[in-house]
Amino acid sequence: MNDFWVAVAISLMASMVYIGFSVSQSFFSFNDGRDDKSKNHNRSLFFVPIIVLMLVPIGYFYLGNAKKQSDWQSSVQKMDQIQSGNKASIEQSDIQDLVLALRSSIAQEPQNGQLWFMLAESYFQLRMVDLADAAMQKALKIESRPDWFVANAQILSMRSSASDISKSINLLQKALSIQPEHQSALLTLGFVYFRQQQFEFAIKSWQRLLAQLEISGSDTRTIQRQIDFARQRLGAQKSQKSD
């Protein structure tokens, strides 16, 4: 707001200089015997400061938007760092600032699903699970993306209640119905089943992922270890039931 009053002060000073110059011009015109022309000239000058002052808030509005745009670009860069896993330089206050920037942008573009998704991710980083879930649901109402279904499932799995786990599984299955080879969905689904001690389903999910990794020539050792561990737990589970 201080910038606004500085702009007003500068405009007033400019107007006063302009009026002073005009008065001096009128004085010389009067001495030259050109009164009528001078009066008409002065009448037109009367509107100059008014026009200038009207332009001040307009200019301030656009300058303010330029600053907001700059802040927004900074926020997007922070979000890119968060999503890429480079969190070393990201402070909690940075994410809180990003949340404020995103909420302001959403107020202007409520149907922008990407903004809602970024807001949900920011809330998730702050461990504000309920708000993250609500924001992600807004995003999914606008657009059904497999990645967003997976993200919402990961958010819900943080709460660990039976209903949330059930919703999480449904969301992951929706993602796979859209993109059957979605690797993140298969990996997450396996972990959700594993946490629920549904080891057979976990193994099936990870085996599908293993097949995808083998096709792409990716390293399969980590997921193979997960499958082997799930098989061990399944064997122990069956032994306990038989006893």
Give the list of residues 6+ apart from residue 44 with CB closer than 8 angstroms, or none.
Answer: none
* Cα separations in angstroms, 21 against 9, 15, 54: 18, 10, 21
Which two three-digit tokens encode residue 87?
């969190």
Query: What CA–CA distance (Å, rounded) separates 243 from 241?
Result: 5
pTM of the model as a whole: 0.63
* Cα separations in angstroms, 20 against 24, 27, 241: 6, 11, 99
Provide the terminal-to-terminal Cα distance of the chain, rounded to the nearest Å: 75
Could you identify the residue written with the tokens 């303010």?
64
pLDDT score, position 197: 94
CA-angle at 151, arms to 169 and 128, nearest 5°: 105
pLDDT score, position 59: 47
Each residue's pLDDT, cut to its tens digit, for the chain (243 residues) gives 455 455 555 555 555 555 554 545 554 454 555 555 554 555 554 445 555 444 444 444 444 444 444 454 555 555 555 555 555 445 677 788 888 889 999 999 999 999 999 999 999 988 899 999 999 999 999 999 999 999 999 999 888 788 999 999 999 999 999 999 999 999 999 999 999 999 999 999 999 999 999 999 999 999 999 999 999 999 999 888 876
pLDDT score, position 81: 56
pLDDT score, position 134: 96
Query: What CA–CA distance (Å, rounded) separates 164 from 186?
Result: 18
Could you identify the residue written with the tokens 């059904």?
144
pLDDT score, position 112: 94
pLDDT score, position 84: 55
pLDDT score, position 158: 86
pLDDT score, position 117: 94
> Under a CB-based contact definition with an 8 Å cutoff, are residues 153 and 171 in contact?
yes
